[in-house]
Structure 1
Amino acid sequence: MEDSELCFPELFNSSCRKPNLPHFEVMLMYVVLCFISGLTAFLNLLVIISISHFRQLHTPTNLLLLSLASSDFSVGLLLVFQIVLIDGCWLYGDIMCTVYQYLAYVITSASIGTMVLISVDRYVAICYPLHYSTKITQGRVKICIFLCWICSWIFQSLILIDNVKQPGRYNSCVGECAFVISYIAGYADLAFSFIIPMIIIIGLYIRLFMVAMSQAGAMRSHIAAVTLRHSVRAKKSQVKATKTLGLVVLVFLLCMCPYYCVALTGEDNSMSASSAAFVICLFFFNSCLNPIIYAFFYPWFRKSIKLIFTLQIFQHGSSDTNM
């Protein structure tokens, strides 16, 4: 065995061996993941600055988008460690391996929880528009976001307790970053982090679609014309926001489903390296897509980007700009 095939040549008897991957494939994965990592962190940072800086954007729905952007920004940073693992060697020790994997689980769980909250927000906005402002307040949304993150930390701590207690306990050689959970914990994570949230999200959006269709029919009828005349503009705004956030949820499902379907079928060990790389890249790429969707559908995001790039946000009173 040549030294170049080992992660740590000085530890000949205990070092892990590098996987024998084509040079082109390795370089392609480096380029793709570096691009996704940088773009994800940059775009989501723009969302975080926009919503945090401009007071007019401090709405309950945008607070949920801020939580989602924070988790997506963290994904962009964590991708740096995934890039390190491309050549099959972990160079930062067992503790950093545990921290990286633990944060990845928590952030993913919090993202899915935020998607559920966004679906509930849209459900109330469309199905109970007259009560939306009283039921969905900034204070309640902040509490829900806080509970979402705390529950993600607690739940993943229970799922990964063996790995957290003894970092590196499942590593078979030096240079490996192995994370192993029991079948019960794995199925619990799959159920509470994917299956149940997806059932809730899909169920709410089916209900939303039915209500939107019925409202569209009512708006065309002469009977409801007088009642709806004063609220048509507000409803159109809510429907547009719902369509945009529905697209965010749909993209989220399309990017996450392959990863969790592999976990559900248990075929992760039989996948080729290229297939596994595609599933992982798709999983992480979702965090990059959300700000792109905002840029296409939200005028306030495009305006805030212009103000950020022209450094107008540093001017006095810029936080009160009409967005």
Structure 2
Amino acid sequence: MNLCETLLELLIVAIAVASLLSNVLVLLCFASSAEIRAQVPGVFVLNLSMCNILAATVTMPSTVLGVARGGKPFGDFFCWTMSAVDTFLTTNAMLSMAALGIDRWVAVVFPLTYSSKMRYKKAFAMLAYAWLHSLAFSLIPVLLSWADYSPTYASCTPVHPGHAHTAHVAFTVFTAVLHSASFVLTLVVLCLAYLKVLQVARFHCKRIDVVTVQTLLLLVDIHPSVKQRCLLEQKKRRQRATKKICVFIGSFVLCFGPYVITRLAELVPSVRINRHWGIASKCLLYSKAAMDPFVYSLLRQQYRKALIGLTNRILGHDFYSSSGHSSSSDTDNDSNQQRVC
């Protein structure tokens, strides 16, 4: 094994540890917060976190063994299982992201009827489709004997069955449909949903800006620094919405895009994929599992509140009571300034 493969091994191990820890935190927040459990998006986040935890504990270690041994980690049955699990978890995670995008679209575009449009019944129906969709595409390669160890990706995955024309056409159709029904479908949903969310958010920001400017013009006695702070806050609000959309869509394309493009490119007989690039694209795909908790949950106020509550219970309430008192006074000062805006 050369230095490059050793570094890739260490990278996968680091991604697995980060994915496991961050997604376990999401589960702890979900279990400890009734507020999070009461909201429909929590179901999609929970499903996504479970997929990421399984990836960190099952498929990532299998890939590490594949890189270390330079071949199939264990027997054929193990390889078939890992191939099915890998395809299932990857597809299910993508569809969970699409469900979160749809949920945000409904919440922003139909805020008054959101509670009636997005109920737990509909959420579970969407997850049921995601599971059946993922299960079907994960079992097809196993049933058709297309699941095997791939040296290009150092993992068990659907591989080209042979040089027979019929088998080649069938595998090509399967691969194209698989990635179209997972990566492309999710990307289209994310783009349509979040771009609509951004459009509505900018519209509301413009309305708020007009009201703010008119209010500031009426308040002639207000200090100029407060006026400047209010206008700056309005500008930050517009930029914040754009950044969030870029993170949602950009992280998805950056992590899944190289792997999907590589899988489609290798269908061309004349194309030979470099082993190191294949493993690196797999690492990028795995890295999404470590990013998801921060993109979709841990940085949100409700999850941060749940984490603080967990920390209070673990370290003791008295440790945070004094610091919480001082921080609350600072928060009150900030909120008083923001109230002027």
TM-score (norm: length of structure 2): 0.70
Aligned 1:50-65 pairs, distance under 5 A: 50-58=29-37, 59-65=39-45
Structure 1 residue 296, shift from structure 2 partner = 6.4
Asked whether the equivalents of residues 198 and 245 of structure 2 are also in contact (C-alpha less than 8 Å), the reply is no
Percent of residue pairs identical? 17
1:214 and 2:197 correspond: no
Deviations along 1:243-283, whole A, 9 cap, x unmatched? 75763443122111111122233379523233222211111
DSSP 3-state at the match of 1:270: coil
DSSP 3-state at the match of 2:258: helix
Asked whether the equivalents of residues 51 and 57 of structure 1 are also in contact (C-alpha less than 8 Å), the reply is yes
Q: Specify whether residues 127 and 163 from structure 1 end up closer, same or farther in structure 2 by C-alpha distance, changes over 3 A only.
A: same
1:35 and 2:14 correspond: yes
Does 305-314 or 143-152 show the bigger shift?
305-314
Q: Specify whether residues 296 and 42 from structure 1 end up closer, same or farther in structure 2 by C-alpha distance, changes over 3 A only.
A: closer
Quote the residue 2:66 is aligned against: 85
Structure 1 residue 307, shift from structure 2 partner = 4.2
Q: Specify whether residues 30 and 263 from structure 1 end up closer, same or farther in structure 2 by C-alpha distance, changes over 3 A only.
A: closer
Computed over aligned residues only, the root mean square deviation of the Cα atoms, in angstroms, reads 3.5
Asked whether the equivalents of residues 307 and 313 of structure 1 are also in contact (C-alpha less than 8 Å), the reply is no
1:290 and 2:271 correspond: no
2-structure distance, mates of 1:210, 1:151: 31
Structure 1 residue 139, shift from structure 2 partner = 2.8
2-structure distance, mates of 1:277, 1:155: 22
Quote the residue 1:253 is aligned against: 253
Answer with 1 or 2: which has the greater Rg: 2
Quote the residue 2:233 is aligned against: none
| Equivalent in 295, 298, 303 of residue 301 of structure 1 | 303
Give the AA of the match of 1:107.
Answer: L
Deviations along 1:126-146, whole A, 9 cap, x unmatched? 111111111112232123223
Quote the residue 1:49 is aligned against: 28
Asked whether the equivalents of residues 118 and 245 of structure 1 are also in contact (C-alpha less than 8 Å), the reply is no
| Equivalent in 278, 281, 285 of residue 280 of structure 2 | 278
Quote the residue 2:122 is aligned against: 140
Q: Specify whether residues 144 and 79 from structure 1 end up closer, same or farther in structure 2 by C-alpha distance, changes over 3 A only.
A: same
Q: Specify whether residues 254 and 157 from structure 1 end up closer, same or farther in structure 2 by C-alpha distance, changes over 3 A only.
A: same
2-structure distance, mates of 1:51, 1:242: 27
2-structure distance, mates of 1:263, 1:146: 27
Structure 1 residue 94, shift from structure 2 partner = 0.4
Give the AA of the match of 1:299.
Answer: Q
Quote the residue 1:191 is aligned against: 180
Give the AA of the match of 2:263.
Answer: A
Q: Specify whether residues 246 and 69 from structure 1 end up closer, same or farther in structure 2 by C-alpha distance, changes over 3 A only.
A: farther
Does 208-217 or 114-123 show the bigger shift?
208-217
Give the AA of the match of 1:279.
Answer: S
Quote the residue 2:336 is aligned against: none
Q: Specify whether residues 305 and 26 from structure 1 end up closer, same or farther in structure 2 by C-alpha distance, changes over 3 A only.
A: same
2-structure distance, mates of 1:273, 1:220: 53
Quote the residue 1:116 is aligned against: 98
Asked whether the equivalents of residues 87 and 157 of structure 2 are also in contact (C-alpha less than 8 Å), the reply is no
Q: Specify whether residues 163 and 305 from structure 1 end up closer, same or farther in structure 2 by C-alpha distance, changes over 3 A only.
A: farther
Does 261-270 or 55-64 show the bigger shift?
261-270
Does 176-185 or 239-248 show the bigger shift?
239-248
TM-score (norm: length of structure 1): 0.74
Deviations along 1:106-165, whole A, 9 cap, x unmatched? 11111111111111111111111111111112232123223211221123323543138x
Give the AA of the match of 1:207.
Answer: K
DSSP 3-state at the match of 1:105: helix
